[in-house]
Every structure is written in C-alpha cells, then in structure tokens.
C-alpha cells in the first residue's frame, strides 16, 4: 500500500479527523482514539451465549473460528465505521505473509483474523489511507514526550516512559505514534 497521496493533502488538516491504527493480535487493531476492533468471538460473555451485531453477523457460540462470511462482514463493518468517522486513516506497513512464515505461533491468529483483508477493505472505504514505514518504531517511542526505548519486548503490554512517566497500553501508545507519524507525512504535524 502506498502513502495514499499524502503529498497532495492540504497541510491544514484537522488532526481530530485522522486516526492511527496499530495491529493487535487480540483485537485486530487498536485506534489512537482508544477504540479497537475486538472480535465478537472475544466479546462473548459465556460459552452458551452468542454475540450478534446487526442481523447478519451471528457467531456460533461453540465456535472459536470465523467463517469467511463472518470475518468479511466484521472487517467491512469496522472499515466502514472508521471511514465514516475519519477521512484519513494511518496504518503501519506490515508484511503479514512474512509474519505467517516466520512466526508459527502467530500464524494461526493471522489466519483467523486476517488483518490484510481488513486493511484492503480500509483502503477501499476510506478517503485517504496513509501507510507508515514498517521499520518506524511505533512501540518504542513515548507518544507524550518522544523518548525512545532501545528495547521493548513483545510480551510487555504496558508502555512506561522512564523520562516523563507516561504509562499506557502498548498498542494504544503505538497507535498514537502511528497517527503522529501520519500527520508528519502529511505535513500537518
């Protein structure tokens, strides 16, 4: 995916109309506004209940896997919801095929929630999709003060900045940094 024509955007963009998304294994994405794409399977309260959204998306309560139709509907609903709220959406460039090949424990999650399919739906539904470089250290930078932590293990879920004391969810911190990098690419940040 390209930067979606970032160089052509007006530099006076309202930053409240921009959202950054960080990929999350458990939630599909975490947005810089604090929302997420938690799947209906993860939101079930017990094994005897089904979660419904609208009339078409009904999950079998005993199933732990999506059907293709269920996953596509969920991706479409999330993409359309985000696109309606935000004219500009910023994501990080990720190579999901490489992640499937090189991280066997992650492969099953990637196969089930298919983030690449979701990103493709976002590209079709949003006005402008900005992609930041895959090597941008979104998880290692403090979203408040900009301090960079040299090493931040993948199993750490909370980001704590030793410089300013900022403490928040790792994925939320990354999503805010992705948004800020998108704004920088747009020339508005």
Q: What is the pLDDT of residues 166-188, one digit of tens each?
A: 999 999 999 999 999 999 999 85
**Could you give the CA distance from residue 84 to residue 36 in angstroms, rounded to a whole number?**
15
- pLDDT tier, 113 (very low <50, low <70, confident <90, very high otherwise): confident
Query: Would you state the structure tokens that stand for residue 10, as one six-digit string?
Result: 């007006």
pLDDT at 10: 47
Residue 28: which of 119, 95, 99, 104 has the closest Cα?
119
Using a cut of 0.75, tell me whether the model's pTM lies above it.
yes
Could you tell me the strand order of the sheet in which 28-31 lies? 28-31, 18-24, 88-92, 128-132
**Mode of pairing for the β-strands spanning 88-92 and 128-132:** parallel
Are the C-beta atoms of 33 and 19 separated by less than 8 Å? Answer: yes
* C-alpha triplet 149, 28, 118: angle, nearest 5°: 120
What pLDDT score does 100 carry?
A: 86
36 pLDDT more than 70: yes
Average pLDDT of the residues in 30-58: 59
Nearest to 176 by CA among 22, 26, 28, 4: 22
- Per-residue model confidence as pLDDT tens digits over 129-167: 999 999 999 999 999 999 999 988 888 999 999 999 999
């Amino acid at each position: 995916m390209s930067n979606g024509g970032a160089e052509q955007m007006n530099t006076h963009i309202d930053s409240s109309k921009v959202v950054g998304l960080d990929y999350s294994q458990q939630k599909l994405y975490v947005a810089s506004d604090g929302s997420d794409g938690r799947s209906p399977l993860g939101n079930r309260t017990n094994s005897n209940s089904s979660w419904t959204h609208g009339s078409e998306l009904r999950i079998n309560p005993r199933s732990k896997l999506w059907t293709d139709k269920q996953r596509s509907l969920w991706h479409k609903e999330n993409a359309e919801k985000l696109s309606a709220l935000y004219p500009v959406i910023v994501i990080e460039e990720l190579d999901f095929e490489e992640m499937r090949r090189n991280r066997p424990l992650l492969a099953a999650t990637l196969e089930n929630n298919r983030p690449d399919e979701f990103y493709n739906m976002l590209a079709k539904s949003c006005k402008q999709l900005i992609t930041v470089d895959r090597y941008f250290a979104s998880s290692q930078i403090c979203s408040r003060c900009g301090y960079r932590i040299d090493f931040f293990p993948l199993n750490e879920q909370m980001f704590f900045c030793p410089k300013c004391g900022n403490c928040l969810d790792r994925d939320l911190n990354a999503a805010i940094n992705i948004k800020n990098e998108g704004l920088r690419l747009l020339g508005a940040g």
